[in-house]
Amino acid sequence: MNQAIGLGWAHSVLGVAALATVNPALAVIGGSTIATYVLIYTPIKARHEINTAIGAVVGAMPPVMGVAAVHPVALAAGWSALPTGLAAVFCDPFAIFLFAYQFVWQMVHFVPMQVRPTDHISHHITSHHIVTT
């Protein structure tokens, strides 16, 4: 288990370092996404329904990262102008659209899976010999 955790962190650090070679905004967004997934989403996913929304935010970040990778302001902004690069990416209409589209799709897809059938529906399903695992 410790080896898996070490390997996961090593890949995360190497991945963020690789993103930093493109531009700092991309590295910060990527690192934040990894941190949110590991430190917030993973511990809460078995404990609370809010995990779906947190997971949807994490899942919607890769398209934003794609915008950050090619955004002219983010590419021109160095580490000293990191807030400018991040603001440019997060205010970009295409990044906002991609984030919103992916976020909403995930919510529509995963929220129904959290809804537990009522006793009436459960009885109806089992009375029709539907096998579940």
Residue extents of the structural domains in the chain: 2-127
Per the structure block, which two tokens stand in for 83?
């807030």
pLDDT of 130 reads 47
Identify which of 117, 114, 116, 112 has the alpha carbon closest to the alpha carbon of residue 49.
Answer: 114
pLDDT of 93 reads 94
How far apart CA 91 and CA 133 sit, in angstroms, is 45
From the first residue on, what is the mean pLDDT of each consecutive set of 10 residues in the chain (133 residues)? 89 95 94 95 88 93 94 84 89 95 91 66 50 49
How far apart CA 37 and CA 101 sit, in angstroms, is 19
pLDDT of 122 reads 54
DSSP 8-state secondary structure symbol assigned to residue 92: -
Provide the angle, in degrees to the nearest 10, between the axes of the packed helices 82-90 and 24-35: 70
Beta-carbon contacts of residue 11 (< 8 Å; ≥ 6 apart): none
Question: Would you give the distance in Å from CA 99 to the centre of its chain?
Answer: 10
pLDDT of 24 reads 92
CB–CB of 23/68 below 8 Å? yes
